[in-house]
Structure 1
Amino acid sequence: MPIVTRTLTPTEEPNLTVYNVTFIVNRPAFPEIQSNFSNHSSMIATELNDLFMKSSIKVTFSSCIFHSISMVNTNSSTVTAVCSFKNNSTIPEVDRVLLYHVFENKTAGISNLGPYILDNDSLYVNDYHESSRTTSEL
């Protein structure tokens, strides 16, 4: 019996640009997140996906995937997610500065991501970070 091979051409996906999005969650505390890791990792990914799908860059957004969580101290956790955006000539390109500002604006100054309370000076997008501006009296 002869073997018939058929080559399938995959649907061409647009080029994707990938960004590491890292931030600190202050509440819930690390032990609570760790005790229900599966639920929290899924919730964080859902919150990030909702954030970008409801933003000014939604046309370029592809997805965010939870990558890792680590303890900063007993009360805080560092979260890293990998978010991808379409990158082709028909839509404006997203860069890390724009992504940073969209996240900042959609989280009330990097303070809330859904039920999560964030450290407002902890956001990094592919190593891009803006320190919070503090004023001091002379």
Structure 2
Amino acid sequence: MNISAVSKKFDLSPDTLRYYEREGLIPPVHRNESGYRDYDNYDMNWIYFVKCMRKAGVSVESMIEYTNLFLKNREGTAEARKDILREQKAEIEEKIFDLQQTLDYLNYKIDNFDDHLKNFEDRLDPYIQRKLKKENNDQK
């Protein structure tokens, strides 16, 4: 499959696909007789993997390290690669926890918005009135 078709399939620009290969996020892609990239299922599995990891916030450096370990010694680096995935999983779980706390707080604010607004405005209203009155007097 050519780069244009793969680009459309994964909703990634051709430049991004070239970047992935150039920087070592994915292994080198097979080239056809004319020198053009010819992506096969193996390449597309790597692209899918990298896209998922990047979407989850995994760093480029971690992805390069993972790919280098894989290419260097597939069986001998399995535990090291698994450690990278574990570390990234822990970071994602922490992000999810933080996001869940933020979501819970937003839900609380939305659920209680009318009461908060009414109470806040009722308390603030005399202050605003005094301030506006003072500003009007200062302008005269």
TM-score bucket (shorter structure): under 0.3
User: Larger RCO: Structure 1 or Structure 2 (Cα < 8 Å, ≥ 6 residues apart)?
Assistant: 1
Q: Report which of the two has the higher share of strand.
A: 1
TM-score (norm 2): 0.23
Structure with max Cα Rg:
2
